[in-house]
Structure 1
Amino acid sequence: MNPRRKKRLGLAIALLFGVGATIGLVLYALNQNMDLFYTPTELVNGKPDGSKPEVGQRLRIGGMVVADSVRRDPESLKVTFKVADIGPQVTVEFDGILPDLFREGQGIVAQGELIDATTVRAHEVLAKHDEEYMPPEIAEAMNKSHTPLEYTEQQKQGNY
């Protein structure tokens, strides 16, 4: 093999190695930042494929806040509450300010890490809002600028 081909072969091998290393590092970084979503039932019993999260794993859990389960520490911002779907309940510990829409019976998603089989220490809590919600300013502006549509004869007959 002549020197020119050896040089090209070396460049091709170095390029393939560089691309492979880049892809490997990207996949590693994505794996480290991936938070899997679980319902309380899946967290306790495992997913249908048999996988269960390990203690210390980052995850997201979503469900409804159980009535009469919210406990606030009067000395700090610490809050504990239970989340459930159709099965077992999971305790969520959170140290911070809860969203304005947070309340018992409301759907939430908590992001944090698994402490034990039924406890999650959350660093973020998101409350699900009502799909019908509209800020008062927007509702008022829409009421001022929009008038109800008049039914035409075609609309009454269903030919619109």
Structure 2
Amino acid sequence: MAGMKGLKKKRRIQIIAIAAVALVVSTALVGYAMRDGINFFRSPTQVLAAPPSEAEVFRIGGLVEEGSLVRGQGETVRFNVTDGGAVVPVSYRGVLPDLFEENQGMVGTGRYVNGTFEASEILAKHDETYMPKEVVDALKEQGVYQAPDGEDS
């Protein structure tokens, strides 16, 4: 009978060990996601100043450069995003949002590969209420941001 008791205890220790490992892993993953979240957003100026690694997924935001939108063959769309200082070419496969236009704000999620931002998701941002504060700040810094409806900002 003593053998059974030892087995149960051993089993409990195994379960505790597995739970502890799972906790450490999930904590590390959350920490990693949070760390990524801090530099999750970049303006085109920041991307060109310090290009992220091709593995890193981040968000880029700015204005769609006028005259840069090219709807290519199939579903691939190319355009440039600018913050008034730097310009980053973007390629995107998929359907663009209805509000997507040149000279409008946009935010894309994706990776920077060989000098082009390969977007997995594109969001159109029409005004300050939707635009991430970082985009607005980046545009204001470059002196190209106009407040909606001609308000003075």
Band the TM-score falls in, shorter-chain normalisation? 0.5 to 0.7
Look up the equivalent residue of 2:96 and give its one-letter code: L
What residue in structure 1 maps to residue 79 of structure 2? 81
**Larger relative helix fraction:** 2
Normalising by structure 2, report the TM-score: 0.64
Report if aligned partners of 2:64, 2:104 keep a CA contact under 8 Å in 1: yes
The percentage of aligned residue pairs carrying the same residue is 34
What residue in structure 1 maps to residue 70 of structure 2? 71
Distance 1:113 1:132 in 2: 26
In structure 1, stretches of 5+ residues that fail to align are 1-7, 47-51, 134-160
Distance 2:27 2:48 in 1: 28
Cα distance, 1:18 vs structure 2:
4.7
Normalising by structure 1, report the TM-score: 0.61
Query: Closer, same or farther in 2 for the Cα pair 1:14/1:97, shift >3 Å?
Result: closer
- The counterpart of 1:126, out of the listed 123, 131, 134, is 123
Distance 1:29 1:115 in 2: 24
Give CA-to-partner distance per residue, 1:83-130, whole Å, 9 cap, x none. Answer: 0113211011001110000001111110111212x3111111000133
Matched position secondary structure for 1:79: strand
Report if aligned partners of 2:61, 2:107 keep a CA contact under 8 Å in 1: yes
For 1:1-160, what aligned pairs fall within 5 Å after superposition? 15=16, 17-18=17-18, 20-30=20-30, 31=32, 34=36, 36-46=40-50, 52-73=51-72, 75-116=73-114, 118-130=115-127
Distance 2:52 2:94 in 1: 25
Q: Which moved more, 1:24-33 or 1:57-66?
A: 24-33
Look up the equivalent residue of 1:27 and give its one-letter code: T
How well do the aligned residues superpose, as a CA RMSD in angstroms? 3.2
Query: Closer, same or farther in 2 for the Cα pair 1:26/1:95, shift >3 Å?
Result: same
Q: Which has the larger radius of gyration?
A: 1
Distance 1:12 1:37 in 2: 43
In structure 2, stretches of 5+ residues that fail to align are 1-8, 131-153
Distance 1:43 1:132 in 2: 24
Distance 2:110 2:129 in 1: 29
Matched position secondary structure for 2:46: helix
Query: Closer, same or farther in 2 for the Cα pair 1:54/1:132, shift >3 Å?
Result: closer
Cα distance, 1:14 vs structure 2:
7.2
